[in-house]
Amino acid sequence: MISLELILAVALFAFVTSVTPGPNNIMLTASGANFGFKRTLPHIAGIITGMGLLNVSVGLGLGALFTQFPVLQQVLRVVGSAYLLWLAYKLLSFSAISDKKAEGKPFSLVQAAAFQYINPKAWIMVISANASFSLMGDGYWWSVLMITTIYAVVGTPSIMVWAGFGQYMRQFLGQQNILRLFNITMAVLTALCVGFIWMD
C-alpha cells in the first residue's frame, strides 16, 4: 500500500538526486547562460520526459539487465563518457552570447530525453529509486507510477533552478573573455563528470 510516509520519502529522494550537480544540471546552467531560460525550456522538458521513460523502462525490467549482464554497465560507461567529452568540446565552441541568429542552439526535447538513456547518473537515480521504493505484488506498478510522477513534480523545479542560475549569470557574461572563461569552466565540469562515472 502506498502510504504518506512512502510518498514523502520518494519526494525527498527525488529532490536530493535532482537538485545536486550532475551532467544534466551542468548542461542546463551552460544552456541558460548561453541561450537564456526560455530557450532552455525544451531541454528541461526533455530531461523530465526522458527520466519518466527511463523509470518506466526500469519498471519493465530493463534495469535488471545490468545485473544479469555486467558488460552492459561498461558499455554505458564508455558511451556516456564519450558523449560527455563531446558535450564538453561543444561548450568550448560557444564563443558569444547566443541569439536566434547566432551559431549553436540548445538541446531539443528529443535530444535531452534521449540523453537520459546514456546518462549514468540518471540510471543510478532511477534504479536506486525503484529498488528502494517500489512495492511488491499488486502494488508494484502503482508504486512505479508514483515514483515517476513524483520525479516529474519534484524534479522539474529542482533542475529549473540550474537553468535559472545560468540565466542570472547571463548578465555578467557580456564580455567575450568572461563568457569564454565561463564556458571553459562548464566544459571542465562536464568533463570531470566522466571521472565519477568510472568510480566504483
Range(s) of the domain holding residue 137: 4-197
Inter-CA distances, 158 with 11, 13, 45, 71, 136, Å: 11, 12, 12, 33, 29
Give 6's pLDDT tier (boundaries 50, 70, 90).
Answer: very high
Express each pLDDT in 105-137 by its tens digit: 889 999 999 999 988 889 889 988 988 898 888
Express each pLDDT in 66-107 by its tens digit: 777 778 778 888 888 888 888 888 887 765 554 444 457 889
Alpha carbons within 13 angstroms on the beta-carbon side of residue 18 total: 26
pTM to 2 decimal places = 0.85
- Cβ contacts of residue 57 below 8 Å, gap of 6+? 63
CB atoms within 10 A of CB 38: 11
The count of domains in the chain is 1
